[in-house]
Amino acid sequence: MTDDLAIALPRAWPRVKWTRAAQVAPLLGDSVEMAAIAGLAPSAAFAVLRADDPMAATRFMAQCLPRVDAARWVAACLDAADQSPPPARAVAAKAVRRWVASPSDDARRLAFEAGGIAGWDTMEGMACLAIFLSGGSMAPPEQEVPVNPPAGAFGQAAAGAVLLAAHADGVPAFASKIAAMLDTADRIAAGDYRA
C-alpha cells in the first residue's frame, strides 16, 4: 500500500453504529442524494459527500453520529463560531454544553427554554432545539402520554445548527469554517476528538 493510498482511505469510525450509508438514508429524506454512496461504509460515504457537497456531508454526519456525539459536535461548532455571543445566546450555548455533559430530561427541557429565548433562527437556538429533539417526550412533563419527536428531527436540527455556525462569519468564510467543522465531526466519529 502506498502512502498516497493510505492517506486517501477514510479512517475507521468506531463511534458510529451504522455499517452502510444506506442505513442512514431514511433519516435524511431527500436532503442528501444517496444513490451513489448507499453501499459504502459511512466514513467512505462521508468522504464522497464532503468532496462534492459539504452541506450534504453535514446533514449526513448529523444523522450518522450517536446523539450525544452529534451534540458534542454542535457544541464545538458553536464554540468555534462565536466567542462572545449576546447573553441570551450564551445561555443557550451553555444549555447545550450542560446537556452534553449530563444528558438528562431536565437539561433537555432547559435547553428548549433557553433556545426559545435565544431565538430559533440563531445557531444556539437551533442547537437547543436539537437537544430537545434528542429523545424523550416533546409533550409537557405533566402529560402522561408521551409525544416522541419524528425520526430524523434531531439530526435535521443538529445539521441546521452546524450550518448556521459555519455561516456566522458570512459567506466568504463559510467554506473554511464548514471544512474545519467537518474535520471535528470526523475526529469525533473516529473517537479521537478532545474538547
Tens of pLDDT, residues 101-131: 999 999 999 999 999 999 999 999 999 999 9
Q: What span, in angstroms and rounded, lies between the C-alpha atoms of 170 and 195?
A: 25
Model's pTM, two decimal places? 0.92
Q: What span, in angstroms and rounded, lies between the C-alpha atoms of 57 and 125?
A: 22
Amino acid of residue 149: P
Indicate whether 164 pLDDT > 70. Answer: yes
Amino acid of residue 175: A
Q: What span, in angstroms and rounded, lies between the C-alpha atoms of 174 and 178?
A: 6
